[in-house]
Chain A
Amino acid sequence: MKQLAVVSGKGGTGKTSIVASLAAKARGRAVYADCDVDAPDLHLILQPRIRERREFFGIKRAFIDRAKCNQCGSCQDACRFAAIFDFQVNAALCEGCGVCKLVCPAEAVEMRECLAGYAYLSDTRFGPLAHAELFPGEEASGKLVAMVREMARDLAAMHKLDLILIDGSPGIGCPVIASLTGVDQALVVTEPTITGEHDLERILDVAKHFGISTAVCINKYDLNPEAARHIEALCEERAVIVAGRLPYHPSVVEAMVLGRSVVEMGGPVADAISEMWRVLEKQL
């Protein structure tokens, strides 16, 4: 089984539009996983029919039983996250370490599992999809990403499909590391801007740190051809292949508004993505 993760350092470079198009190319041959669990958008294009919903429990959180609490303040002194004030736990600040429970002489603290989101197994016109929604403001997005990826592997085994296509989140932190661990190939989507280039270098360093084979896609390359050339030179220096160069074209947003993939719309971006898909298939 092969896994391809589409990520980016900078947000809004076009990951989801590209994944939806690659899904159209891989139709019937792959499983899809939306690992951008706190801003998931792939379902807006893939329009899943949900088959199963699973509960996601994130971190445990502390609860203080006021009847048992003798207001000694030990928990407030021991909490490193300043989550306890006036003998009550601020759930948004609690990191679930359990130190308050350890130090409480009155056994007034209980650690409770908290429902933090849902994960879904779905069918789409391109094949099975594993996706999720993290409740607004919740922690442990990396743990939910790991859950979605495990569900995608199960779907692949069940349907006898040997490719998993992962839509990642922007950045280089917890959910991105969880999306990249153990994949066979990462595709980093960037754009020809000073911020796109800066963020590309950081994510390429992270991929290298984890020993992941990486290719780059320069989206909207014609917006600033000079910056695009700069990015190509940077990739050459690092021996990273540029798998695709996509032009800036209104068909991308038009497709999004219609809930379709760019490849289904046709046009210059669709052609460029088809070409990129050939390169990626060879890489895999």
Chain B
Amino acid sequence: MKISIASGKGGTGKTLVATSMAASLATPGTSVTIADCDVEEPNAYLFFPERTLLERKECLVPVPVINEAQCTHCGKCSEVCAYHALAVLPETVLLFPELCHGCGACKIICPEGAVSETFRSVGEIFRAQSGGVEIVWGELALGEARTTPLIKAVKDGAEGETVIVDCPPGTSCSLVESVRGTNFCLLVTEPTPFGLYDLNIALKVLEKMNIPHGVLVNKSGMGDRKVYEYLEKRNIPLLMEIPLDRKIAELYSRGEIFAEKMPQWKAQFAGMVRRIEEMVS
């Protein structure tokens, strides 16, 4: 079972939910994996200070190498590159590695066989263990723009019966890559105009991808009732509410998993996961 946690708007509580859900499901004999796909700003591991690092590796992507001795500077590689990653000058070829998607078109088109490939690192993948929870996360190298290779690597590295995928904010390709292949997506929102507007966009992504979904309203009690009216009107299941509570916010601010400190919440999370399992099967 793979459950993704997404939102659209940032800061609605995805990581808060992912970490508490994992802590609630991890019992002796049951392992739970968190795949933190927010590779720009990975945070889930911060909530497991006792973790033991099991693995750390570079995330490598292919990138062209031009053999200047064979190159005639005909310019075909630059013309074919959809990402403007190659510029052919009279004397040399310039490569902009951050723009390259590693598609291999330049290598295919070169009439001189002057293009070969090597690999470059776009970030790192980490795997750690803390009690019954395994955490896999990626860290995008500074100045890098493309997140999808790292997100794929994080998901490939997250095995186990139960995987909780903590998604990045937003509704573009990073979200698509993160939720792809998950059995269910839990959308975390807050009952405010911003929360609702972005929830609506994220829902469209999930509908397009045919991923079953439900909503968790975090910080309930603030804002207005429009999110609830929206869910009712569209018949989208409201699976849980977490109130706006200074104690929860303070625990979070210190990097503590709130369901560990307020154990009455563990049953709530476990119950919600049971309901999700029923909805999926």
Contacts and interface: CB of A to CB of B under 8 A. Distances in A.
B103 A80 contact: yes
Chain B interface category by residue count: 35 or more
A164 B198 CA distance: 24
Interface in B140-159: 140, 142-147
A54 interface: no
A245 to B, nearest CB: 16
Nearest to B11: A12
Interface string A239-254: 0000000000010010
Contact of B174 (A44, A173, A256): A173
A209 interface: yes
A163 B108 CA distance: 47
B193 A11 contact: no
B12 A12 contact: yes
A17 to B, nearest CB: 8
Interface in A99-142: 99, 102-103, 134, 136-139, 141-142
A59 B82 contact: yes
A78 interface: yes
Contacts of A193: 252-255
Contact of A99 (B15, B104, B176, B205): B104
B268 to A, nearest CB: 22
A171 B40 contact: yes
Nearest to A14: B11
Given A137-B176, A210-B143, A253-B223, A170 B108 contact: no
A175 B193 CA distance: 23
Interface string B172-186: 111110001000000
A41 B41 contact: no
Given A41-B9, A102-B80, A173 B172 contact: no
By DSSP majority rule, is chain B's interface helix, strand, loop, or mixed?
Answer: loop
Interface in A9-26: 9-13, 16
Nearest to B61: A80
Query: Which of A38, A141, A206, A209 counts the most chain B CB atoms within 10 A?
Result: A38
A8 B43 CA distance: 14
Complex A-B, nearest 3 residue pairs according to Cβ-Cβ distance, in ascending order: A12-B11, A11-B10, A97-B103
Nearest to A203: B41
A50 interface: no
A11 B208 CA distance: 24
A253 B41 CA distance: 25
Interface in B159-218: 168-176, 180, 192-194, 197-198, 201-202, 204-205, 208-209
B209 A223 contact: no
